Homo-oligomer: A and B are copies of this chain.
């Protein structure tokens, strides 16, 4: 199996892009990536997207975006795994290169959400849960996460205020990311005073949706000989039940545990070897559960890492270094690629005020549904 490396990256600002359509945003991210890569052509295009059918009445995104981006006739396909669509597309592109079927694969994450009414977006997002058993009951996606958070606080004795450092760190880091959707500081006071959405999740526990596109060009690592390069040293995916009522333990992200375990084994690493972790903080509770399932904290002790400052850029395990889903924004199907773009930025040393010190190994984890589909990737800076 051929080792795969990242070449170029590109991204748009996450925002309410009312003047730019789905294809506009995709084209902007692809153009930036091709320029960053110094390439004019590619062998294949893999698109991570969740909602173009439901929100934009547009399927067949592969052909649409290949043509619009000046890549007419190139092989192109869309990959969907709810909010994990981005990382799932990345893994598809990786396998295309690893198999030898292609020598370059452009992986794009794209979502256009803000043209629709928020009610429609809420309904569309509920399609990530079990439509027949969860959606049918009228429970929204934030509602499902609220049930998990409520139980977690009850089980392990945390107060709502204990989750504040997750939000504060994400927002502080996003202040230095021009592509982030939200540029505003959060304090312990503002965190506790934020409007309630679905108790105990309030506005500052939850990530904002948005419009955005991000892309990465993958090539065989061997084609970059004699240069420092960023290689994908692990790629793993696992699933759990879609409905949370089907799980033996709703407070343990089994798919995160399985995919992280597989990734550590592939890379020959332990959790302690990871220099920073771009995790999927769609809600603050998900940040805590992700840290636990991946071996960074004991069961029920995820918030401790945040309270102790370990998650800060200068801490022992920086997370959400560019703002995370919470403040960079969460254009659902694109998020997995934003995370991986940010891992590359850190490994390249391009993160200025929130730069992690000399990182060699970065991990990203992307979650689809309430922990149903989870992908873990580890990228490594390899010397020439």
Do A77 and B131 have beta carbons less than 8 Å apart?
no
A242 and B82 contact, Cβ closer than 8 Å, known pairs A77-B88, A98-B99, A237-B75: no
A101 and B92 contact, Cβ closer than 8 Å, known pairs A63-B240, A131-B57, A258-B73: no
Could you say which residues of chain B place their CB within 8 Å of the CB of A130? 58, 64
| A60 interface hit (Cβ, 8 Å) | yes
Do A99 and B1 have beta carbons less than 8 Å apart?
yes
| A319 interface hit (Cβ, 8 Å) | no
A291–B7 alpha-carbon span in the complex (Å): 40
* Contact residue among B50, B67, B237, B238 (Cβ-Cβ distance under 8 Å from A241): B67
Residue in chain B with minimal CB distance to A374: B63
A240 and B73 contact, Cβ closer than 8 Å, known pairs A59-B50, A80-B59, A92-B92: yes
A100 and B1 contact, Cβ closer than 8 Å, known pairs A80-B80, A239-B73: yes
CB contact list, A241-267 vs B, under 8 A: 241-242, 246, 254-255, 258
* Contact residue among B1, B74, B368 (Cβ-Cβ distance under 8 Å from A239): B74
| A104 interface hit (Cβ, 8 Å) | no
CB contact list, A1-34 vs B, under 8 A: 1-2, 21, 23
* Contact residue among B54, B129, B258 (Cβ-Cβ distance under 8 Å from A54): B54
Do A63 and B237 have beta carbons less than 8 Å apart?
no
Size range of the interface on A? 35 or more
A241–B64 alpha-carbon span in the complex (Å): 7
Interface of A is mostly: mixed
A236–B80 alpha-carbon span in the complex (Å): 21
| A51 interface hit (Cβ, 8 Å) | yes
Having A63-B241, A75-B237, one finds 6 other A-B pairs with CB under 8 Å, namely: A1-B101, A54-B59, A57-B123, A60-B80, A60-B127, A67-B242
Q: Jot down 5 A-B pairs with beta carbons below 8 A, ordered by A.
A: A53-B53, A58-B135, A59-B82, A64-B242, A76-B239
